[in-house]
Amino acid sequence: MSNVPTADAKFVDLLLYLAELMRQNVKIDPHRLERSLGGRYSKSQIKDALTLLKLKRPRGEPVRIFSESELAMFDPDAARLLLKLYSLGVVEEHQLEAIIMQADIDEEILTVDDVKTFVAIVLSDPVEFNPETLPVFQDEEFEN
């Protein structure tokens, strides 16, 4: 899995649903799951989501706290969704920061759909959003 080739906003909904089931210690049978979801997700999407969630570790209660300026960038439901994804272990800290940085660039308040889109992007491209591969920019003002 090239982390999540099928990631999109709909896939984020599947991740949320499965992460909640896992948090509640519900045994997940992929075949029953596919039937119970009524064909809304393909076998490969379910497999990708389960594989991704097995690699992630739930954090319990979120430890990341938004500053007032960060909260102002998100619709309240979008901020709650982002913290929930983080606390469930779906989004890692560096991915959360990448989403917040993108929100800072955008001039409009991000909605739940915007957050789902950004989550899908950071999950789909682990190389681009990996802190070890991000370029380090030097501030020339502080170099002297």
Mean pLDDT confidence for 4-24? 79
- Does 16 reside within a domain? yes
- Does 63 reside within a domain? yes
Range of the structural domain that residue 109 is part of: 1-132
Alpha-helical runs (H) found in 4-75? 9-23, 30-36, 43-55, 68-71
pLDDT tens column, 121-136: 888 876 555 555 544 4
- Does 61 reside within a domain? yes
DSSP state of 74: B
- Does 137 reside within a domain? no
pLDDT tens column, 58-85: 555 556 677 888 888 999 999 999 988 8
- Does 110 reside within a domain? yes
pLDDT of residue 103: 84
When divided into structural domains, the chain yields a total of 1
Nearest to 96 by CA among 54, 61, 55, 66: 66
pLDDT of residue 128: 56
State the Cα torsion 30-32-36-42 to the nearest 10°. Answer: 40
State the Cα torsion 28-33-37-43 to the nearest 10°. Answer: 120
- Does 140 reside within a domain? no
- Does 101 reside within a domain? yes
- Does 109 reside within a domain? yes
